[in-house]
Structure 1
C-alpha cells in the first residue's frame, strides 16, 4: 500500500489528477510548488463505467485505501449550486454530479476544479504572477480561455465562471494595417458557443488559421504561419498584425475591468516568445493605465500547471477546515 504518512514538520501529501480529452494524469505533491507525475493513462471519453473504473484503479495503485482526498483539475463548467458538470471533451461525464459520484465510487473526498482556474492559480501563487494581487491568466491553445485570481484565490462568482474572456467579448470587424487609414474589413465568425464574433473564433491557434484564410485565402497551419511571420513573410505578417490588433483590444478591456497587473499566457501560442512580446506591446498601447513594465508575460507552467494548481486548491481547502 502506498505510504501517505506525514512526518512532523513536513507538508501533508496531496494527491491530484488532471483530466483531459486525451489522458488522465495522476500526481502527488509533497510540498508547495512541487508535483510529481506518477502515472498517465488514456481517458475513456465515451464510457462512464470505464471512466470510473480507470480512476478507481489509479487510486488503488497509487493512493491506497487511506481515504486521502483527491483534487481533480478538468475542463468544463461546474455549476456551484448543483455540482453538475458540462465537459465537451469528456462527453461521458457531462450532466453528472461528478464530484459526488466519484467520491462514492472511490470512497474518498473528491474536489472538482476547472483546469483553467487551476492553471491560473498555479501562475498567480507560484508562477509568473507571484507577488501580484490581481492576476488574469490567459490560455491561448487551440482556443481561448482564462481565469481571474485575486489575493491568491480563484474568482468563481455565483455561476462558477469568471475570466472566460473567450466568449461574450466581441472582436473588431476591421483592421488598419499601415496607420495610413487603409482599413481591411474582417468578417465576424460564428463561435462554437453560438454567438457571433467571440475572441475564441480568432484568438487561439485554430482562430489564427481562420483569420489567415479570411485575409489571404490560403490554408496554412499555425506553426507554419508563425514560422513564416518570424522569417518576415508578407502574408504571415499581415495575418499576425491583424491578430494582434483584434486580440489586444478585448484583452486590454479585461485588464481595465479587472485591474490585473500581470497577465501570464499559457497554451501552445505562449511557446512563441516573439508573439507574446508583440501582444504585450499591443495591449499596453490600449490600456487605460500606463504600464512601464511588461504586463503580458509567458507563463511558467506549460506542462504541469493543472496539477500544481490542483495541489494549491487542496492545501487551501485544508487551511479552511477547522
Structure 2
C-alpha cells in the first residue's frame, strides 16, 4: 500500500492506494496555519487513520507547496511560509518512525497525471497548478524532474512574460518580485484583479457567472487572465516544448480555458505550428495527493 499526503495552505489530505492505483481510503483536514508542529501532528493522525481503516502499513510520499533544498535539506520557497527553513523530512520521519519522500506539490501533480491521468504515456508532461497559487512541475517518463538545484518547473517566481505597458511593473507578491506568474495566473490573482477594478472580492466561480452573463468588467478580467496564462504557457512551449500541458487547481475547472488559451498563445510561439494539447487534470484536485503516493513507484 502507498500513502500520499498533499500538504496545502488550506487543507492536508491523505489517500491510500493499492498497488494498481485503486483508492482504499481518503481523508482531509483543515491545515493548522502558521503552526508547524500542529501540521506534523495532523499528518501523524491522518496516517494513523488511513492505516487503521485499511489494516495495512504503507510507504509515505508527501507533496508540499515548496521544496527541499539539496544544499541544506531544509524547506525553501513554500508559500505556506511557516514550513520554510524546517527539516521537514527528518521531523516527519521522527514523528512517524519511517522514511518519507517529499516533492513539490506541482511535481506530484505532474507525476500523477503522467502515471495514470491526462498525460499518461507522454514523454514530457508540464503540469500547472492554477489554484490558491500557481506553481508547475515537470514529469519526464513519469518521473519528477527536479533539476540540479531542486527548482525544476518553478515557474511561479517568473514575471509574466511579454508584459504589456498597462501591466508594468505588476502587483507585489510574497516572492518579493512584481507581476509574477504565481500572483497573476493563480485563482487568487483572478479574484484580486476583479477586486482591484471593482472594490468587491468575489470567488472565481462568481466572477465567471458574471462573465458568462456579459458583465463587462468580469469579461475584461477573464480576458486579461487568459492572456497572462497564455503568455506563461507560450514561454514554456518555447523553452520546454512538452508533449502535453495539464492544468490542475480550481481555475482548471473553467471549461472555456481549453478553447480560449491556444489561439492567444500562438503569437508568442516560436514556431509555424502549435498543436500541443492543454488538458484538465484527470484526477481533479486530488491528483497531487495521488502523485505523492506514486513517489514510491
State the TM-score, normalizing by the size of structure 2: 0.86
| 2:228 matches 1:238 | no
Quickly say closer, same or farther: Cα 1:186–1:83, change in 2 above 3 A: same
Partner of 1:63: 51
CA distance in 2, matches of 1:49, 1:165: 29
Q: Which of these residues, 161, 176, 200, is aligned with residue 219 of structure 1?
A: 200
CA distance in 2, matches of 1:47, 1:242: 36
Partner of 2:91: 101
Quickly say closer, same or farther: Cα 1:186–1:46, change in 2 above 3 A: closer
| Secondary structure of 1:39 counterpart | strand
Partner of 2:172: 190
| Secondary structure of 1:273 counterpart | coil
| 2:139 matches 1:140 | no
Partner of 2:265: 283
CA distance in 2, matches of 1:66, 1:193: 41
| 2:13 matches 1:31 | no
Quickly say closer, same or farther: Cα 1:33–1:90, change in 2 above 3 A: farther
CA distance in 2, matches of 1:212, 1:42: 27
CA distance in 1, matches of 2:250, 2:85: 29
Deviates more, 1:285-294 or 1:134-143: 285-294
CA distance in 2, matches of 1:314, 1:82: 23
- Deviation for aligned residue 1:291: 4.9
Quickly say closer, same or farther: Cα 1:151–1:60, change in 2 above 3 A: closer
CA distance in 1, matches of 2:41, 2:228: 45
Deviates more, 1:192-201 or 1:24-33: 24-33
Report the RMSD for the aligned CA atoms in angstroms: 2.6
CA contact (8 A) 1:170 1:199 kept: yes
| Deviations, residues 168-201 of structure 1 (Å, cap 9, x unaligned) | 2334442xxxxxxxxx723422222111221223
CA distance in 2, matches of 1:80, 1:134: 23
Q: Which of these residues, 235, 244, 256, is aligned with residue 253 of structure 1?
A: 235
- Deviation for aligned residue 1:61: 4.4
- Give unpaired runs (5+ residues) of structure 1: 1-12, 175-183, 316-322
CA distance in 2, matches of 1:294, 1:132: 11
Partner of 1:269: 251
CA contact (8 A) 1:16 1:70 kept: yes
| Secondary structure of 2:191 counterpart | helix
CA distance in 2, matches of 1:121, 1:29: 15
| Secondary structure of 1:136 counterpart | strand
| Deviations, residues 79-137 of structure 1 (Å, cap 9, x unaligned) | 1233211444262x432211122212321111112211101111122111112211111
CA contact (8 A) 2:6 2:12 kept: yes
Q: Which has the larger radius of gyration?
A: 1
CA distance in 1, matches of 2:205, 2:232: 24
CA distance in 2, matches of 1:146, 1:279: 17
Quickly say closer, same or farther: Cα 1:126–1:49, change in 2 above 3 A: same
Quickly say closer, same or farther: Cα 1:273–1:101, change in 2 above 3 A: same
| 2:2 matches 1:18 | no
- Deviation for aligned residue 1:68: 4.5
